[in-house]
Amino acid sequence: MFKNFFGTISKDIGIDLGTANTLVYVKGRGIVINEPSVVAINQKTGQILAIGQEAKRMVGRTPGHIVATRPLCEGVISDFEITEQMLRYFINQVCRGSIKFLSRPRVVIGVPSGVTEVEKRAVEDATRNAGARDVYLIEEPMAAAIGSRLPIQEATGNMVVDIGGGTTEVAVISLGGIVVVKSLRIAGDKLNEDIIQYAREEFKLLLGEKTAEDIKIAVGSAFSLEDKMETSMRGRDLITGLPKEVIVNSDDIREAMRRSVKILVNAVRSTIEESPPELVADIMTQGIIMAGGGSLLRGLDRLISQETQMPVKISEDPLTAVVRGCGIVLEDIDALKNVLVSTQYQEPPR
């Protein structure tokens, strides 16, 4: 009875806790928060100065005693306390105006499929400490498939490639479960690092992380483009220490990212090779679905299609596929309970 009472007055939420961005879905309202997973801290006082978009603007522009940090690395928590405070901030934003002890929400939160039991437990604990009443975990490729409206409960093969900031998840799903999955620590952030490394080696130019990301978005591609695109690369000359600007084109940036993109495509191919033939036949019919911000890299869908000989489609609004999946589970949690993952942790006997 009490559970039903709390369920009617609390704002149950779904969270895509990503390396690059955190998205929050509120039951009955849709996606209400889409902010970078960045926290700015005053190291002298330990005080948090900013979270989200405001903190991201500070990256690379802070004095020595202020650090703008990302508390998640490659899809998992690297700084427990800061992640907890970031989650508390987002949950408080959603529950603002509610009576505090009555507004502890149930939370469905996405985690990479390759995480350990300890990492799952860290996400659960951080979310509970941030104010959640109940915490349910769902693997990100499963959430992305649900968010892309794939028939995951049917006896048919569904293939999802979810490319986020820190991890890429490639999964084949059937009958509400993951049949084959590969989790790579190569995704959007690694492509940014490739561009930074390329600038250093080719032009002796030191780039910031945000500049590299802007270049990737402006001219980055995985497949040869008909019309070459150009952009300026601005940073610090490693030899003179002075500002320097270089013009690069889409071919240059594609070459910079080539090795990482190849690893990513090979992961998709090997997942197909490990899948049962009946499911492969289904995937050939309905295609591979791509989700996550990394799927927006120009020509990546075309390259994967060429390498796998299968149709490839980008999910509608791929950036929000995981959090939409969390939201759909939240709306009917009893019917979709079988897609959730549980930790092996047991409470110690009293």
Q: What is the pLDDT of residues 21-58, one digit of tens each?
A: 899 999 888 889 898 889 998 888 888 888 888 888 88
22 known member of a binding site: no
- Which residues have a Cβ under 8 Å from the Cβ of 240 and sit 6 or more positions away? none
Pairing of β 106-111 and β 13-17: parallel
Domain residue extents for the chain: 2-143+322-341, 153-315
Average pLDDT, the chain: 87
195 known member of a binding site: no
pLDDT at 96: 67
Tokens of 42: 């005053």
pLDDT at 3: 45
Picking from 52-66, 142-156, 213-227, 335-349, which range would have the lowest pLDDT averaged per residue?
335-349
Percent of the chain with pLDDT over 90: 52
Q: What is the pLDDT of residues 66-75, one digit of tens each?
A: 888 888 887 7
Answer yes or no: are the C-beta atoms of 323 and 110 closer than 8 Å.
yes
- CA-based nearest residue to 294, from 190, 139, 199, 208: 190
d(Cα 44, Cα 59) in Å, to the nearest integer?
18
pLDDT at 97: 54
The hierarchical CATH code for the domain 2-143+322-341 is 3.30.420.40
184 known member of a binding site: no
244 known member of a binding site: no
Mapped onto helix, strand or coil, the DSSP state of residue 261 is helix
Note the helical H segments in 130-249: 140-147, 188-203, 209-219
Q: What is the pLDDT of residues 313-331, one digit of tens each?
A: 999 889 999 999 999 998 8
Q: Burial letters for 311-340: b for 16+ Cβ neighbours within 10 Å, e otherwise?
A: ebebbeebbbbbbbbbbbbbeebeebeebe
129 known member of a binding site: no
214 known member of a binding site: yes
DSSP class per residue in 19-85: SSEEEEEETTTEEEEEEES-EEEETTTTEEEEETHHHHTTTT---TTEEEE-SEETTEES-HHHHHH
pLDDT band (50, 70, 90) for residue 103: low
281 known member of a binding site: no
305 known member of a binding site: no
pLDDT at 344: 47
pLDDT at 347: 44
294 known member of a binding site: yes
Q: What is the mean pLDDT of residues 257-280?
A: 95
Q: What is the mean pLDDT of residues 245-254?
A: 94
Q: What is the pLDDT of residues 144-161, one digit of tens each?
A: 999 999 998 999 999 999
Q: What is the mean pLDDT of residues 2-27?
A: 73
Ramachandran quadrant class, 46 (left: phi over 0; alpha: psi -120 to 50; beta: rest): left
pLDDT at 217: 94
Q: What is the dihedral of CA 154, 305, 18, 261, to 10 degrees?
A: 150
235 known member of a binding site: no
Q: What is the CA radius of gyration of the chain?
A: 21
293 known member of a binding site: yes
Q: What is the mean pLDDT of residues 258-271?
A: 95
Asked if the 153-315 domain carries CATH number 3.20.140.10, the reply is: no
pLDDT for residue 85 is more than 90: no
Q: Which residue has the higher pLDDT, 92 or 280?
A: 280
pLDDT for residue 332 is more than 70: yes
Note the helical H segments in the chain: 2-9, 53-56, 80-95, 117-129, 140-147, 188-203, 209-219, 250-274, 277-286, 300-308, 321-331
Same CATH topology for 2-143+322-341 and 153-315?
A: yes
Which pTM does this prediction carry? Answer: 0.86
Return contacts of 5-8, CB within 8 angstroms, 24+ apart.
6/102, 6/104, 6/133, 7/106
How far from 91 is each of 17, 103, 340, CA to CA, in Å? 12, 10, 21
How far from 310 is each of 172, 193, 268, 276, CA to CA, in Å? 14, 30, 11, 16
pLDDT at 4: 47
Tokens of 191: 């492509």
Q: Which residue has the higher pLDDT, 247 or 348?
A: 247
213 known member of a binding site: yes
97 known member of a binding site: no
| Cα 263 from chain centre | 18
Q: Tell me how crowded residue 137 is: count the other CB atoms within 10 A of its CB.
A: 20
Q: What is the mean pLDDT of residues 280-292?
A: 94
pLDDT at 99: 42
335 known member of a binding site: no
What backbone torsions phi and psi does residue 164 show, to the nearest 5 degrees? -100, -150
pLDDT at 343: 54
